[in-house]
């Protein structure tokens, strides 16, 4: 059995905070793998199901960030889940925005949610740390994590969340380095079948309109390429 934990704060005002990226990832995992409907259990919202024939529990603690460990302790004791099979998704200011790092054990690096978990179950569990960037001024740290993602950040967060969810099977096989590498370097992956058709179309349109580009009719070139795509 494996346990996924997404850290965040349960207040509606915190829903889109940077600090709540863990909640967003759990929601996305639930949807992608058709886990059960969320139920209030163990001081959190709990779902369960199977991913690649492995029994999975996923929880969003409702204890607020600083007491996350209480919910996790109750759950793993009840289901007898080894701490080594716990994966915690959380924000990290010491990582560049939109990048992730995965580690097993180690310090909390000052993250209150992780400190709480360490206190209740020890440090021998895996953490998926999602970079939210660091404010330039130290006095802005608290506000930074509790602020909503900016409009230009939301698309990147959606993208990184999708990449994490897509690669969950690699994570549960505990191939940590491969998981991190693929999530962070997803742009190097092959196009899927639908993308290949789209790329072929846009390439053909670009080639067909090269004369307009040579004549430096930039606006006309862009307009025609995109217009042709919209008509496909």
Residues labelled catalytic: 19
Say how far apart CA 92 and CA 19 lie, in whole Å: 9
Say how far apart CA 40 and CA 105 lie, in whole Å: 28
Decide if 18 contacts 91 (C-beta within 8 A). Answer: yes
**Backbone φ and ψ of 140, nearest 5°:** -95, 5
Say how far apart CA 120 and CA 169 lie, in whole Å: 27
**In this structure, what token pair is assigned to residue 90?**
């959380």
Between CA 73 and CA 78, with CA 75 as vertex, the angle to 5 degrees is 105
């Amino acid at each position: 059995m494996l346990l996924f934990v997404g850290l965040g704060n349960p207040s509606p005002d915190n829903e889109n905070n940077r600090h709540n990226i863990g909640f967003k990832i759990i929601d996305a995992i639930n949807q992608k793998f058709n886990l059960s409907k969320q139920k209030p259990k163990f001081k959190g919202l709990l779902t369960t199901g199977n991913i690649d024939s492995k029994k999975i529990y996923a929880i969003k603690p409702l204890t607020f960030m600083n007491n996350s460990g209480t919910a996790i302790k109750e759950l793993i004791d009840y289901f007898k889940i080894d701490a080594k099979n716990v994966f915690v998704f959380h924000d990290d200011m010491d990582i560049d925005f939109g990048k992730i790092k995965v580690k097993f054990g180690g310090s909390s690096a000052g993250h209150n949610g992780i400190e709480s978990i360490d206190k209740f179950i020890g440090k021998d569990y895996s953490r998926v740390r999602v970079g939210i960037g660091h404010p330039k001024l130290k006095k802005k740290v608290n506000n930074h994590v509790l602020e909503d993602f900016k409009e230009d950040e939301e698309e990147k967060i959606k993208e990184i969340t999708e990449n994490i969810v897509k690669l969950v099977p690699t994570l549960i096989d505990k191939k940590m380095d491969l998981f991190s590498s693929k999530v962070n370097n997803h742009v190097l992956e092959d196009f899927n079948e639908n993308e290949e058709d789209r790329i072929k179309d846009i390439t053909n349109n670009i080639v067909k309109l090269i004369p307009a580009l040579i004549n430096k009719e930039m606006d006309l070139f862009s307009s025609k390429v995109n217009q042709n795509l919209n008509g496909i």
